[in-house]
């Protein structure tokens, strides 16, 4: 019996600039989210795997400068880029990740290559870049990831003497999410025709972060997790808190050990466990039955999903 395929994606959580949220400002985000969901949906309907669909969606998010992953990634305090990504295959619990890379065009492809190689789960820095190069992945000069908008964010963050846990922002009053309080991570989860689940996550990290900082995105169980018996999860938010809460795994653990539904487990993690330690953000998740849950404790989260042949749905606020 074939399963109805489902895909869900996120482009980060944060605070909506409610004072001046206009349709024109939000349109570009909705269009980007819709196109990416449609691409993943089409792949799944052709019989593609959940892993292929999740990775395709994240690659497209990495290529879109609207989001803090790949091209358009934020800057570290040193004026460099350090990107992280992870993938996990729910069928066999294989996983791969890279952290602190600055020359791999699509970090999620490197994460998948680490998984498929099988010797390790997480590679970082120069070693991860050497691995990617040896496996024929596209390499770029670090300047490829730079945009003037992100450089301006770094200047503002340094002038304020703070690290921004997000895309420390433009002062654009019409921004669909307040760019000063928006968590910069992208992710995708998918369920394929064969009933398999997968998750993928990628990020440029935090504006003005210390070089060498690693957040939750590439840490299996913190920002990314998938298990065919439970769910696939990709997180976005204050990474240090998601690490401390083992947030992505905790959703699956609650389902397994406490018998909670996906909605109950995801809500408990996002609305109870994380806020208890000061954690802000959200997650997207799909369970083995195709249920989708996308809770967030911020005012908004870029997100989209599609089930079977149904038209994709996208949203920014509640």
For residues 233-243, one letter each, b for 16 or more C-beta atoms within 10 angstroms of the residue's C-beta and e for the rest, the string is bbbbbbbbbbb
Return the number of other C-beta atoms located less than 10 Å from residue 271's C-beta: 14
Tell me which residue of 98, 79, 77 sits closest to 87, measured CA to CA: 98
DSSP 226-261: E-TTSEEEEEEE-HHHHHHHTHHHHHHHHHHHS---
Question: In whole angstroms, how large is the CA radius of gyration of the chain?
Answer: 18
Residues marked active site are found at 185
Reported as type and span, the H/E element at residue 305 is strand 300-307
Of the candidates 131, 152, 158, 144, the one whose C-alpha atom is nearest the C-alpha of residue 63 is 144
């Amino acid at each position: 019996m074939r399963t109805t395929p489902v895909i869900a994606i996120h482009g980060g959580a944060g605070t909506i600039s409610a004072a001046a949220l206009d349709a024109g400002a939000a349109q570009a985000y909705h269009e980007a989210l819709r196109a990416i969901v449609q691409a993943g949906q089409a792949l799944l309907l052709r019989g593609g795997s959940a892993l292929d669909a999740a990775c395709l969606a994240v690659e497209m998010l990495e290529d879109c400068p609207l989001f803090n992953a790949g091209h358009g990634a934020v800057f570290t305090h040193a004026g460099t880029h350090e990107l992280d990504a992870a993938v996990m295959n729910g069928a066999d619990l294989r996983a791969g990740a890279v952290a602190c890379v600055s020359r791999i065009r699509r970090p999620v492809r490197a994460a998948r290559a680490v998984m498929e190689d099988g010797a390790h789960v997480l590679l970082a820095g120069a070693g991860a870049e050497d691995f990617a190069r040896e496996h024929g992945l596209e390499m770029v000069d670090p300047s490829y990831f730079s945009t003037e908008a992100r450089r301006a964010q770094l200047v503002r963050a340094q002038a304020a003497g703070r690290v921004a846990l997000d895309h420390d922002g433009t002062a654009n009053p019409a921004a669909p999410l307040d760019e000063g309080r928006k968590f910069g991570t992208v992710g995708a989860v998918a369920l394929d025709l064969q009933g398999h689940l997968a998750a993928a996550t990628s990020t440029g990290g935090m504006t003005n972060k210390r070089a060498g900082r690693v957040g939750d995105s590439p840490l299996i169980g913190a920002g990314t997790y998938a298990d065919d018996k439970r769910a696939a999860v990709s997180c976005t938010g204050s990474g240090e808190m998601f690490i401390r809460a083992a947030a992505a795994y905790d959703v699956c653990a609650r389902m397994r050990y406490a018998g909670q539904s996906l909605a109950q487990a995801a809500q408990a993690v996002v609305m109870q466990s994380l806020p208890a330690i000061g954690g802000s953000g959200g997650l997207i998740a799909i369970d083995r039955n195709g249920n989708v849950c996308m809770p967030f404790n911020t005012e908004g989260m870029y997100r989209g999903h599609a089930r079977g042949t149904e038209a994709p749905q996208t949203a920014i606020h509640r």
